[in-house]
């Protein structure tokens, strides 16, 4: 069963299952008595589990909930970016490790009133390993965009996980009901969520759709194991002015993207190559930071990236010179110019486009590792033109850490570029380039009436206009007038809700 259930009303995803709950169990060695502000080394409690896994590949030994809680407390104190803002609670007073982990974070809020830490989560280690390495998950093969989560709701098809799925409703199709329950007006949230995000292979739901053009149809969709294609619709377009423009839709920084990105750039660099690139990140929530570095290198090329840092991780003030996770001296993430072995053999040279600027299509779901591409390229002087809406604002990241079969994600560092900038908790905003969170570009609402990669799609059309004319198209230009039967997209983007690991900046101990 998928360990997460999305919700219509909240952007966070609730963890449904993981090991480490319940009381009972005995530790092989007595745990130290809790003293507020006094912390033992986390290694003293690691892998001491209430329910140890069996098999030589696991380091687990018999332990207790208290052992697991003590590990979480010490590990959080050692590595959490805002460790001194955690209220120190007695771990012996909590019978469930997941519930205790939820408390081990800052309660501070930002100037806008949002929680300072919105990125604290855990998931079963088996699911983390399967999904992050292969892109396999249970679903219908499509991603929903929730434009309005409260009645009257507006939920539509954003894109397909695989680009050749003509059997599924196309982008922009509106979901009207789930198993007879109105998506637009019903308060039966459980039924709606169950239909949106099925958790079991073979699970079926009757979904009523309104297609672009007004046709209505009810389909019974069956959930299955879907392997997503993170890179899609790679093509070379010719602008009205004759410029050769590459286009690439990049949806997830997962392991399988390494080979796909390499092949996409190789395709775009054939012959005389391209003059400009439009990189569509509007639904890319993030993932592995190293993949962002590889793509940034392939865009900018060897001369611009030589000797430069893609991103520099800043940990908490207990670790000014040493990475608290790896134990190694602090070192920046470089612009990786070879494969790293995520999904193709390591140490193979990467192709490059050698571009001095890139057009990036963004929205509210453009997060974390995707924002690192923008920030990292700007840090070395590559011009970024942002087309779309404000990104989500996640300059933070973490190292997924397993203990007793649960992988924990706690904010451990803030990423800054080669110029030392990384302060964009409210996202990058297209408009005027101020050298910080303001980026040169055009604010353009998402266009659900056209497929991604279609030259008439609003954001891509705006990028092509900018390439030809050097400025944003007027608000009365043709791409704002194609509205058919569906309501025009709002100025504020909807959100494509993904599992949290697909909406963050992920580091591994070796990368």
Give yes or no for a contact between 236 and 273, defined as CB atoms under 8 angstroms apart. Answer: no
Work out the burial of residue 158: count CB atoms within 10 Å of its CB; fewer than 13 is exposed, 13-18 middle, 19 or more buried: buried
* Interval 329-352: pLDDT, tens: 999 999 999 999 999 999 999 999
Instruction: Check pLDDT > 90 for residue 87.
Output: yes
* Interval 165-204: pLDDT, tens: 999 999 999 999 999 999 999 999 999 999 999 989 999 9
* Interval 100-151: pLDDT, tens: 999 999 999 877 777 889 889 999 998 888 776 666 788 999 999 999 999 9
Helix 369-379 and helix 289-300: axis angle, to 10°? 40
Instruction: Check pLDDT > 60 for residue 4.
Output: no
Contacts of 482 (CB under 8 A, 6+ apart): 447, 449, 450, 456
The percent helix, strand, coil of the chain (3-state, each to 5) is: 20, 25, 55
Q: pTM of this prediction?
A: 0.86
- Over residues 13-31, the mean pLDDT reads 39
Work out the burial of residue 294: count CB atoms within 10 Å of its CB; fewer than 13 is exposed, 13-18 middle, 19 or more buried: buried
Helices H / strands E in the chain, number of each = 9, 28
- Over residues 422-439, the mean pLDDT reads 93
pLDDT of residue 388: 97
Give yes or no for a contact between 106 and 116, defined as CB atoms under 8 angstroms apart. Answer: yes
Cα–Cα distance for residue pair 118/411, rounded to 1 Å: 10
pLDDT of residue 506: 75
pLDDT of residue 507: 76
* Interval 35-82: pLDDT, tens: 999 999 999 999 999 999 999 999 999 999 999 999 999 999 999 999
Give yes or no for a contact between 452 and 493, defined as CB atoms under 8 angstroms apart. Answer: no
What DSSP assignment string belongs to 270-336? STT--SEEEEE-TT---EEHHHHHHHHHHHH-HHHHTT-EEEEEE--TT-SSB-TTT-SBP--EE--
pLDDT of residue 508: 75
Sign of CA dihedral 69, 74, 78, 84: positive
Q: Would you place residue 19 in the very low, low, confident or very high pLDDT band (cuts 50, 70, 90)?
A: very low
Cα–Cα distance for residue pair 112/79, rounded to 1 Å: 26
* Interval 255-290: pLDDT, tens: 999 999 999 999 999 988 999 999 999 999 998 999
Could you count the other beta carbons within 10 Å of the beta carbon of residue 67? 28
Q: Would you place residue 505 in the very low, low, confident or very high pLDDT band (cuts 50, 70, 90)?
A: confident
* Interval 207-236: pLDDT, tens: 999 999 999 999 999 999 998 999 999 999
């Amino acid at each position: 069963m998928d360990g997460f259930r999305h919700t219509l009303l909240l952007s966070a995803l609730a963890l449904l299952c993981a090991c480490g709950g319940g009381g009972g169990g005995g530790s092989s060695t007595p745990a130290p008595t809790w003293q507020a502000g006094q912390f033992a080394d986390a290694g003293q409690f690691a892998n001491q589990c209430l329910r140890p896994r069996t098999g030589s590949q696991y380091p687990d030994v018999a332990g207790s909930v208290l052992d697991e809680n003590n590990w979480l407390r010490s590990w959080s104190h050692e590595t959490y970016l805002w460790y001194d803002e955690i209220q120190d609670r007695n771990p012996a007073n909590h019978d469930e490790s997941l519930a205790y982990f939820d408390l081990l974070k800052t309660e501070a809020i930002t100037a806008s009133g949002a929680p300072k830490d919105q990125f604290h989560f855990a998931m079963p280690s088996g699911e983390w390993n399967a999904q992050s390495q292969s892109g396999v998950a249970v679903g219908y093969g499509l991603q929903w965009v929730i434009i309005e989560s409260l009645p009257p709701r507006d939920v539509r098809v954003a894109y397909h996980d695989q680009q050749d799925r003509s059997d599924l409703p196309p982008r922009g199709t509106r979901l009207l009901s789930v198993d007879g329950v109105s998506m637009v007006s019903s308060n039966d949230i459980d039924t709606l969520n169950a239909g949106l995000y099925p958790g079991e292979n073979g699970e079926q739901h009757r979904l009523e759709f309104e297609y672009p053009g007004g046709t209505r149809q009810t389909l019974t969709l069956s959930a299955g194991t879907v392997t997503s294609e993170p890179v899609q619709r790679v093509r070379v377009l010719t602008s009205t002015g004759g410029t050769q423009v590459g286009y690439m839709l990049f949806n997830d920084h997962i392991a399988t993207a390494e080979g796909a990105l390499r092949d996409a750039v190789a395709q775009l660099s054939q012959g005389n190559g391209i003059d400009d690139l439009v990189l569509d990140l509007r639904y890319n929530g993030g993932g592995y930071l190293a993949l962002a570095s590889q793509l940034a290198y392939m865009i900018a090329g060897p001369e611009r990236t030589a000797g430069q840092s893609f991103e520099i991780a800043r940990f908490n003030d207990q670790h000014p010179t040493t990475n608290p996770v790896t134990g190694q001296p602090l070192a920046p993430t470089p612009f990786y110019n070879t494969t790293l072995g995520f999904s193709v053999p390591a140490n193979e040279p990467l192709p490059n486009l050698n571009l001095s600027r890139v057009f990036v299509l963004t929205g509210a779901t453009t997060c974390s590792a995707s924002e690192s591409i923008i920030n990292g390229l700007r840090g070395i002087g590559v011009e970024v033109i942002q087309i779309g809406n404000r990104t989500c604002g996640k300059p933070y990241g973490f190292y997924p850490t397993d203990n007793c079969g649960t992988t924990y994600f706690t904010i451990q560092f803030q990423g800054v570029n080669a110029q030392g900038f990384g302060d964009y908790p409210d996202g990058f905003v297209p408009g005027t380039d101020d050298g910080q969170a303001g980026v040169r570009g055009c604010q353009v609402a998402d266009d659900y009436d056209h497929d991604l990669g279609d030259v008439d799609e609003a954001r891509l059309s705006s990028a092509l206009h900018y390439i030809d004319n050097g400025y944003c198209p007027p608000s009365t230009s043709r791409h704002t007038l194609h509205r058919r039967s569906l309501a025009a997209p709002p100025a504020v983007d909807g959100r494509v809700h993904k599992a949290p690991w697909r909406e963050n900046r992920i580091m591994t101990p070796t990368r």
